[in-house]
A and B are shown apart, each in its own frame.
Chain A
Amino acid sequence: MFDLLSFLRPSGTFSHGIHPAENKHYTAHMPIRRLPFAPELVLPLSQHFGAPSEAIVHPGQEVVRGEPIAKANGFMSVPLHAPATGRIKRIELMPTAKGPRTPSIILEVYPGDSQEVRYDFPRDYTTMEPADIVKAVQDTGLVGLGGAAFPTHVKLSPPKEHKVHTVLLNGCECEPFLTTDHRVMLEYPEDLIRGTKILMKALGAERAIIGTEENKMDAVAAIQAVLPADGSIEVRAVPTKYPQGAEKMLAKALMGVEIPSGSFPSSVGLGVFNVASTAELGALFPHSQGVIERVVTVTGPGIEKPGNYLVPIGTPIGFILDQLGFAGSANTLIMGGPMMGGSVSSLEVPMTKGSGGLLVLTEQILEQQHELSTHPCISCAQCLDACPMHLNPSQLGKLAYKHRYEDMQSDFHLMDCFECGCCSYVCPSGIPLVQYFRIAKSSLREQAARERAAAS
């Protein structure tokens, strides 16, 4: 509970955080395998952070695998590519992992097709200008594959006053159960290095550090074997701890710097990218391809054949579960990891660019969780000792209970919370702290939007 000896431990990590059971043994050793095409793919136009893509196809149109089917709507947006050769069936509202139904392109896959990817033209980043690289990255439709789905090319265009000197590659994958990044680092280290070089070129950065956790030393070895001789890229393992994979925690662990509250990493000269995104960039960029599939860890005690699968974007969850088999009856499906992932409301929900994991828990596990009934806060201070942002979740929780959201924001820095869930995880009273904070934050955002609307 109280870490008196923290100052004795080697640095190279952040303070606070938790050590949940890793549960990576289900899939860590399993090579990436391809999953068959579902008969119908559901492609939401908004799979990323920013403006939704704009469809450029019409129902009935035939598309080839890899062909753009939606274009970027402005700079804060990315295009969408056909994950399979087939026919556009319709464009309509479909359920998504986040909840609300959003406009989606439904693609009927041709079963007999060879599913050859339509290549564009070769590109050589070494001879390209940074601005052209940024445009080319946008054309690949690449977004952060770690979960946030933030468009990669936007991160490559930091504000002019910020000079990025170091690129950090985030391969921590601190969420329990997930092994996507681990397998990508292990199996595609060349792509990762190429992607890293592209990012460095675009940002004008002199060096890059690939950061991972100490539970993935085989990946470290695989990367070390292909590192460039000039020493511009290095790989480092930091202690395994949740949430090491948060970019603010990684910056602290690898560089010893804190990203100021409310600022981008570029304000301290850093660019932080997920390793799977970077490896994807390294694979797609030279051929001018778009993102049409991604590696997904399908895992948990509720699945018969857990593993790391290459899944076409838009594959419905129900199809994956049918292929890999439920081990239980009524399960809880989680898109992402157990700490930050969201429950899924419908089996029609498709895998999108940001979904790196599909976790299937069992009823037994859930029942164990429900045994923690909610007591009042007993001020045990465990949440303060867990919060990686050094906030005061205990006090925030008490204020949230009284709906004093403004006080939470002004006096206790609610907006610095990135919802890692450590506080809820350790709370002996079973208070759903992080859920309170989500509600408080969205309520404050709505209020701010209303005020802006009223002012204009």
Chain B
Amino acid sequence: MSTAGHKVVLHTSPHLRETPSVKVIMRNVVWALLPIVAFSVYQFGISVLALTFVCVGTCIGVEHVACRLSGKQSTVNDWSVTITGLLLALTLPPGFPLWMAAVAAIAGVGIGKLFFGGLGYNIMNPALIGRAFAQAAFTAPMTTWVPIMAEDRFTQFIPSTLTLPFLRPESIQPWLASVAPDGFSGATPLALMKFEQVPTESLSLLLGSTAGSAGETSALLIMLCGAYLVYRRMMDVRITISILVVAALTTTVFYLINPDTYPGPLFMLCSGGMMLGAVFMATDMVASPVTPLGVWIYGGLIGFITIIIRLFGGLSEGIMYAILLANACSPLISSVTQPRRYGAPSKKGTG
């Protein structure tokens, strides 16, 4: 056989790669979030389904339009903005007005991600930026909770969900009285503990039979979904571990000082957004440090700040601000925790 006329293709080494691409990683995170969304829809009904569609749709739309406006190829097909939409929906109260959710999504993706240059350049988690925006702009709806397993949840929206744009939601008290005649306190376990010293059973926290944001109720389910990502090696479990360990330790210290005022560690770990934050929010690759030591410090920082806010701050929940603060610190953490390189000269003279 003659070799003349063969086309020779040039390429730089390494010539082979075997790695899941960004797209595959992001798509798997979406898969991992879907059971949590499904469980939330099961608990709270079509309101959460609508909320999820609005959040995801708005996030995708904003990114697509922004890419077009800036003359770039649309980046929505890398799935990362879908994650942002799902996470945002999971952090909002189930009866959150849809128009407000859309505004939060625009703020999250627009300010939190696209202003910085899109995927890879955002400093903070865009979903949490969106939630922080909503917390500041729509304080009352952000703290209006509804009971789970309302009877007509699959046929009827929670009244506040369908609030017309730019209007405040009506009071949901009459609706609450109809779905929960025995009385519903309208508070999350964390708020009950903080403001009324009423503890909630750990088992119901673990399984998720409590009030709360759409996706923050079942700690067990979130852990299982996270475990899938860890198994696929698509999530940094070191961050989750350090958050939970430091949060538990910090809580234990205060619990031992005064068990009457301060809750125990298991309650703290399973309540509120702790699990969703530790598993899916703090582990956002872009906004977390890259160095091995850095991720432990970063996680520890989140765990500690969360507990301090929960115990001593004005809010009952603290993980959102803890993660945003740690996101802001992560470039600094990365730069001061550069790994020791092979063969680096050392003071002991071991090299």
Residues of A at the B interface (CB closer than 8 Å) are 1-2, 4, 14, 20-21, 176, 248, 252, 258-263, 318, 321-322, 325-326, 329-334, 338-347, 359, 361, 363, 365-366, 369, 371-373, 375-382, 384-385, 388-392, 394-395, 412-413, 416, 419, 421, 424-430, 432, 434-435, 438
A378 contacts which chain B residues (CB < 8 A)? 22, 80, 119-120, 285-286
Among residues of A, the one whose C-beta sits closest to the C-beta of B15 is A338
Residues of B at the A interface (CB closer than 8 Å) are 1-3, 6-25, 78, 80, 117-121, 233-234, 236-238, 285-292, 295, 334, 338-345, 350-351
Q: Are B18 and A429 in contact (CB under 8 A)?
A: no
A381 contacts which chain B residues (CB < 8 A)? 236, 285, 290-292, 295
Q: Are B78 and A375 in contact (CB under 8 A)?
A: yes
**In the complex the two chains form, what is the Cα distance from A144 to B216 in whole Å?**
61
* The one of A252, A330, A430 that contacts B6, using a Cβ cutoff of 8 Å: A330
**In the complex the two chains form, what is the Cα distance from A382 to B24 in whole Å?**
15
Among residues of A, the one whose C-beta sits closest to the C-beta of B25 is A428
Q: Are A369 and B16 in contact (CB under 8 A)?
A: yes
A366 contacts which chain B residues (CB < 8 A)? 9, 11
B342 contacts which chain A residues (CB < 8 A)? 14, 248, 252, 258, 261, 388-390, 416
Q: Are A365 and B343 in contact (CB under 8 A)?
A: no
A361 contacts which chain B residues (CB < 8 A)? 15-16
Q: Are B121 and A413 in contact (CB under 8 A)?
A: no
Among residues of B, the one whose C-beta sits closest to the C-beta of A249 is B342
Among residues of B, the one whose C-beta sits closest to the C-beta of A339 is B14
Other A-B pairs beyond A338-B13, A424-B13, A424-B14, 14, CB < 8 Å = A21-B16, A260-B343, A261-B343, A333-B8, A338-B14, A339-B14, A369-B17, A376-B117, A381-B291, A392-B290, A416-B343, A425-B17, A428-B25, A435-B12
Q: Whole-angstrom distance from the CB of A406 to the nearest CB of chain B?
A: 17
Q: Whole-angstrom distance from the CB of A354 to the nearest CB of chain B?
A: 15
Q: Are A343 and B345 in contact (CB under 8 A)?
A: no
Q: Are B236 and A334 in contact (CB under 8 A)?
A: no
**In the complex the two chains form, what is the Cα distance from A322 to B5 in whole Å?**
13
Per DSSP, chain A at the interface is: loop
Q: Are B14 and A340 in contact (CB under 8 A)?
A: yes
**In the complex the two chains form, what is the Cα distance from A260 to B344 in whole Å?**
6
Q: Are A318 and B3 in contact (CB under 8 A)?
A: yes
Among residues of B, the one whose C-beta sits closest to the C-beta of A386 is B19
Among residues of B, the one whose C-beta sits closest to the C-beta of A385 is B292
A330 touching B22 in the complex, CB below 8 Å, given contacts A342-B13, A365-B16: no
**In the complex the two chains form, what is the Cα distance from A381 to B20 in whole Å?**
14
- 18 A-B pairs within 8 Å (CB atoms) are namely A1-B233, A262-B343, A263-B343, A326-B1, A334-B13, A339-B13, A341-B13, A344-B8, A375-B120, A378-B119, A379-B120, A379-B285, A379-B288, A380-B290, A392-B339, A413-B344, A416-B343, A424-B13
A395 contacts which chain B residues (CB < 8 A)? 290, 334
Q: Are B343 and A259 in contact (CB under 8 A)?
A: yes
Q: Are A380 and B285 in contact (CB under 8 A)?
A: yes
Q: Are B341 and A389 in contact (CB under 8 A)?
A: yes
B350 contacts which chain A residues (CB < 8 A)? 258
* The one of A1, A341, A377, A434 that contacts B236, using a Cβ cutoff of 8 Å: A1
The 5 residue pairs across chains A and B that have the minimum distance between CB atoms: A376-B120, A421-B14, A330-B7, A1-B233, A261-B343
**In the complex the two chains form, what is the Cα distance from A2 to B7 in whole Å?**
41
B292 contacts which chain A residues (CB < 8 A)? 381, 384-385
**In the complex the two chains form, what is the Cα distance from A190 to B156 in whole Å?**
85
Q: Are B233 and A375 in contact (CB under 8 A)?
A: no
**In the complex the two chains form, what is the Cα distance from A419 to B14 in whole Å?**
9
**In the complex the two chains form, what is the Cα distance from A350 to B312 in whole Å?**
74
A346 contacts which chain B residues (CB < 8 A)? 8
Q: Whole-angstrom distance from the CB of A12 to the nearest CB of chain B?
A: 16
Among residues of A, the one whose C-beta sits closest to the C-beta of B3 is A318
* The one of B118, B233, B351 that contacts A376, using a Cβ cutoff of 8 Å: B118
Q: Are A343 and B119 in contact (CB under 8 A)?
A: no
**In the complex the two chains form, what is the Cα distance from A372 to B17 in whole Å?**
9
Q: Are A394 and B290 in contact (CB under 8 A)?
A: yes
A20 touching B290 in the complex, CB below 8 Å, given contacts A1-B234, A322-B2, A375-B120: no
**In the complex the two chains form, what is the Cα distance from A376 to B233 in whole Å?**
20
**In the complex the two chains form, what is the Cα distance from A390 to B340 in whole Å?**
7
**In the complex the two chains form, what is the Cα distance from A75 to B64 in whole Å?**
63
Among residues of A, the one whose C-beta sits closest to the C-beta of B24 is A428
